[in-house]
A and B are shown apart, each in its own frame.
Chain A
């Protein structure tokens, strides 16, 4: 087994992974959607978000696989070493993977493609990977999509990390709060108290027993915008808190404690009168009216006899965490939307359907009045090829956009991938003619995304709001961008399908042409040839004796030429028919096939006085007619190129990895290794016709037959030492020799 070394930073990498607190967590829709999408796009049965933890692969998300982890050191190492997309069309053929448990045992995968999940610090955490039970390839659009999806997965993971970090900070700050409180309570020196208060990064506000503010530290002044002088002596909470929030809390507490709690100071201290600390999230109002979320720890202040003398509230700003949570929520929502829409868009490989789905879905999700797709030709002329319009607004379908007021370089910018938003047509400072154009279409606000098809600028996805100006949020813009990307990928796939279809039609046509040619060759070319040969012979027969010896010799040459030409035509025909006339591969006995080949050659074998031996041969999946021809050509080749000593030909087969290796060995004249490759080319002859007759097609036919079966053919030989022709046929089942 080829075991790759672990990277030097493995400890740091594992730490980064652990920080995500994701290992062992339940499946989440945000990841599962992306995995399903990967499997769908790549058309494979298995897709995984696989994280590497030591020698196990743990799957945060899995499609088509039941287990949630697999212990496979080989795979783990390869995966975390991978800095870029890794595609192994057949892992069994790849020495890095061939011995891995994933490959050797269940699920016995053959195909692997993984896009790495790399943190911003460069640690590879794992992959978004797709697997199949059969060897295969991905097209470039699928590869691109896999990478794009991996970036989505990574964005989810990064968000999770920020959240984990913030939670940790919060836990830590809770501890700090406790120690600050303790210190505060323990200290008697007011001066020292003040010093600690002022040095803290937390708002520290103390009140007397009725809620009159006593102290207001520097952090509180900075965060809330009030000076201590302004608030000391005033009653909290109404100054600093959101009334609605306080009322809501009062209702909750009243219910919980089964005592009426007034929506005021009591809401903060009702639970701590009995002792202890209460920790809750609240909203603080700044002096300027703006607000921010805090985590407020409230505790009672007691005198040396344990009597409650007041309260202490320590707050930390949790805007960052709140934002991250919000982001996570938005991100999940976005991924979900994207996944849903991408699935819908990708469900079709028909161009029209893709565009239709795209505009309909975008219109639905964005609740916009008009969504259109503008197709641009090479001269930059645009035409609306698809749209979805809300009732009441005019259609733009087939509208040609070639207006000069867009400016000469506006396409260039889109070509570079820029997006364009106009929140309010009236106030965006647009060229008057553009404003007129947009007003003509009732557009009050718009969002424009370029659609790129394999880096080529294909067109624009445009969202119109007609009933009002609209502030496009970054979330919406981002989502649109991703959707435009998906449309681009879907278009690329549709295009590829179209090309593939065209190619196969072209192929079918050229095959038909070839067939026609082959037929012409077999019939029409031979007709005149027969006439030449037959009548020359008739001439010879009728006028024998009346012509001289030279004439007889000339006629003999002419007849010989015509006969040879016919052989040549027939051989060429055989050659051209290896692929076009091949039968499907079925299980056949090689011994039976060899016996038939030998029977066909019996007169030649007897004439050459050759001995033919053969080892046990297997049953394989093959075209019996072609395999017979293969053996026949190889044996007759040996018969032809025999040396002075008695000819001995030996046929045998061995099993190698996933193929059968056949050999046809002789003790004939051999071949110079210089020509070992050339002899398999059509019309390549090493000897003059006088020495050895032949058309130079026999071995070319052999090569074509072997290749049609998915194998290779080659010769090992020394001049004078005989030759061994080897060929392989893949083992597709069947019995051993």
Chain B
């Protein structure tokens, strides 16, 4: 079931510096089952500004799901993850690490930092579509999350 209240779209924060990936994700989510709103930031600092509603993100919504790339300009994804999971208010937001890295240490580190799941971006478009759909389905319709 969806925990979103009817009428309010699910807020997704995508932290991704590659416009190609942003576009692809947007394309896939546009046809998604769940009514969602995709917020995109390009680096780690922006991501934190968004989450803490700083600067021109003062009116930013609290995301229901964060899709986080690891290798980002300025603050990288690992630092963002540390901050989110170390913050009492933010730590309950599920964070999906969506990255190209297949490095064992990245995977290990992400889980050690309490990332909720780690997904390697596939080369194949069909697989990518399947994965984004799975994320949407799993985190936004199957999983029961606390009410904020």
Contact = CB atoms under 8 A, between A and B. Distances in A.
B146 interface: no
A523 B123 contact: no
Interface string B49-87: 000000000000000000000110000000000000000
A529 B103 contact: no
A535 B18 CA distance: 13
Contacts of A559: 124
Contacts, number: 57
A522 B103 contact: yes
A504 interface: no
B124 A563 contact: yes
Interface stretch (B6-14, B94-102, B134-142): B94-102
A538 B24 contact: yes
A636 interface: no
Nearest to B126: A537
B68 to A, nearest CB: 14
Contact of B71 (A523, A534, A566): A523
Contact of A581 (B20, B104, B121): B104
B81 to A, nearest CB: 16
Nearest to A532: B123
Interface in A283-322: none
B24 A523 contact: no
Nearest to B20: A531
Q: Which residue, B103, B122, B128, has most C-beta atoms of chain A within 10 A?
A: B103
B101 to A, nearest CB: 4
A573 interface: yes
Interface string A684-704: 000000000000000000000
A533 B127 CA distance: 12
Nearest to A570: B102
B102 A533 contact: no
Contacts of B124: 533-534, 537, 559, 563
A665 B125 CA distance: 39
Given A531-B18, A531-B20, A526 B123 contact: yes
Contacts of A527: 18, 100
A519 interface: yes
B27 A538 contact: yes
A523 B20 contact: no
Contacts of A581: 104
A248 B143 CA distance: 112
Contact of A530 (B103, B123, B126): B123
B123 A566 contact: yes
B102 A562 contact: no
Contact of A534 (B20, B70, B104): B20
A526 B100 CA distance: 7
A137 to B, nearest CB: 35
Q: Which of B122, B123, B124, B128 has the largest number of chain A CB atoms within 10 A?
A: B123
A573 B102 contact: yes
Contacts of A570: 102
Interface string B15-45: 0001011001001000000000000000000
A659 B124 CA distance: 44
A519 to B, nearest CB: 6
B interface, size bucket: 20 to 34
B100 A534 contact: no
B96 to A, nearest CB: 17
Nearest to B101: A523
Nearest to B128: A534
Interface in A209-245: none
Interface in A514-564: 518-519, 522-524, 526-527, 529-531, 533-535, 537-538, 541, 559, 562-563
B125 A537 contact: yes
Nearest to A581: B104
Nearest to B125: A537
Given A534-B20, A534-B24, A535-B20, A523 B103 contact: yes
Nearest to B24: A534
Contacts of B123: 526, 529-530, 533-534, 562-563, 566
B103 A519 contact: yes
B125 A534 contact: yes
A522 B101 contact: yes
A581 B107 CA distance: 14
B118 to A, nearest CB: 14
B105 to A, nearest CB: 9
Contacts of A562: 123
A522 B71 CA distance: 12
Nearest to A529: B123
Given A537-B124, A563-B123, A530 B100 contact: yes
Contacts of A537: 124-126
Contacts of B104: 581
Given A523-B100, A573-B102, A533 B125 contact: yes
A559 B123 CA distance: 9
Interface in A455-481: none
Contacts of A518: 103
A198 B113 CA distance: 108
A535 B21 CA distance: 10
Contacts of A534: 20, 24, 123-125, 128
Question: Which of A524, A531, A559, A581 has the largest count of B CB atoms less than 10 A from its CB?
Answer: A531
A559 B126 CA distance: 12
A519 B71 CA distance: 11
A563 B24 CA distance: 18
A591 to B, nearest CB: 26
A527 B121 CA distance: 9
The listed residue with most A CB atoms (<10 A of its CB), out of B21, B24, B100, B126, is B100
Contacts of B70: 523
Contacts of B101: 519, 522-523
Interface string A482-526: 000000000000000000000000000000000000110011101
Nearest to A542: B27
A319 B20 CA distance: 102
Contacts of B121: 526, 530
Contacts of B27: 538
A566 B128 CA distance: 15
A528 to B, nearest CB: 9
A566 B104 CA distance: 17
A629 B24 CA distance: 34
B27 to A, nearest CB: 7
Nearest to A566: B123
Contacts of B71: 523-524
Interface string A640-672: 000000000000000000000000000000000
A574 to B, nearest CB: 10
15 contacts: A518-B103, A522-B101, A523-B100, A526-B100, A526-B123, A527-B100, A530-B121, A533-B124, A534-B24, A534-B125, A537-B125, A538-B27, A538-B125, A563-B123, A563-B124
Given A523-B100, A531-B18, A570-B102, 15 more contacts: A518-B103, A522-B103, A524-B71, A526-B123, A527-B100, A529-B123, A530-B122, A530-B128, A533-B124, A534-B125, A534-B128, A537-B125, A538-B24, A541-B125, A559-B124
Interface of B: 18, 20-21, 24, 27, 70-71, 99-104, 121-126, 128
**Shortest 4 CB-CB distances between A and B: which pairs?**
A537-B125, A531-B20, A523-B101, A534-B125
